[in-house]
Amino acid sequence: MLACPPVRFEIGTYVGEKVKQLIFDGIIASETTFKPGMSSEWHYHSNPHFSHILSGGSRELREKGTQIQMAGTSLYYYPGIPHQNLNYVQGTRIFNMELTADFFKNYDILIPDESFMFEAQPSINTACLMQIMREIYLNDADTPLSLQQLCLTLNGKSNKREHLFPEWTKKIKSILYDEWDKPLSLHTLAHYLQVHPVTISRYFARYFGCTAGEYLRQIKVEKALILLKSQHATLTEVAYRCGFSDQAHFTKIFKKLTGFTPNQYRKL
């Protein structure tokens, strides 16, 4: 139980100082910076939004627990959920992508479920969020069209009601996140799940929007995002630690999924 009612943050409002903003067709993209050591009051947001921590981080308190937020991670905030951020690290910068009620009405889609805010294994399409960020920074004549498509893609992933999926889909997601750095095959996965390999082959893309191999690459890129921001490892070291065969392979996959090269992302 909170001692005081949380503060309501209206459209486009965040903790910290807003240094960039672009508004288009129900999409509000912005970048915020924070003074070292600052903390927020308990608050909640009027609209759903996605955030990516470009540098720094903080400790976030929620009624359901505490989360350490670090550079290279992506987050989802469901409207109306109270939270408080403590002790922002020096140099913290966060990219935010907020969607208004008009966006969901115009495209006849649902707000991503509250459960995505609390899942241990992220269901956010981080690579797609990176592509949105790239378009915001590019901001040319073709950006509006790209933004519309990318935001629909991002929400298409989050709009899937995973609680309605077959039980094996929940298990395979955990296996892929837990065993991402080990050799996996259809037969190995089928053995773990006690289903036929054809079941995985035929239906994985229906529930996850890609093949199991592509899903693993996304996980590896998510791991790389954190390493690129939090450590001074070389690109070759990051590539090997994240399961890529070499730096060239890492760079190719990273740019294909995010729109940035690893060095470009590291310098953001």
User: Please, what are the domains in the chain?
Assistant: 7-158 (2.60.120.10), 164-267 (1.10.10.60)
Give the pLDDT score at 264. Answer: 96
Structure tokens at 47: 């609209």
Total-model pTM: 0.90
pLDDT of residue 1 exceeding 60: no
Question: What pLDDT shows up at residue 120?
Answer: 63
Q: What is the pLDDT of residues 27-38, one digit of tens each?
A: 999 999 999 999
Could you tell me the pLDDT band of residue 124, with boundaries at 50, 70 and 90? Answer: confident
What is the mean predicted confidence (pLDDT) over 57-76? 92
Report d(CA 268, CA 55) in Å as an integer. 8
Say if residues 51 and 14 touch (Cβ distance below 8 Å).
no
Q: What is the pLDDT of residues 6-18, one digit of tens each?
A: 999 999 999 999 9
Question: Is the per-residue pLDDT at 2 higher than 70?
Answer: no
Three-class SS state of 30: strand
Tell which residue, 79, 88, 63, has the closest CA to residue 3: 63
pLDDT value at residue 248: 97
Q: Is the pLDDT reported for residue 158 higher than 80?
A: no
User: Residues 83-99: what's their mean pLDDT?
Assistant: 96
Which of 145 and 160 is assigned the larger pLDDT? Answer: 145
Whether residue 186 is predicted with pLDDT greater than 60 in this model: the reply is yes
Pair 143, 135: CB distance under 8 Å = yes
Q: Where are the beta strands (DSSP E) in 2-136?
A: 7-9, 17-24, 27-33, 43-45, 49-55, 57-62, 65-70, 74-77, 83-86, 93-99
What pLDDT is attached to residue 256?
A: 96
Average pLDDT over residues 144-165: 79
Residue matched to tokens 């790209």: 146
Q: What's the pLDDT tens digit per position in 47-62?
A: 999 999 999 999 999 9
Amino acid letter for position 265: Y
User: Mean of the per-residue pLDDT values for the chain?
Assistant: 91
pLDDT for 161 equals 63
Q: Which amino acid is at 206?
A: R
In this prediction, residue 106 has a pLDDT band, given cuts at 50, 70 and 90, of: very high
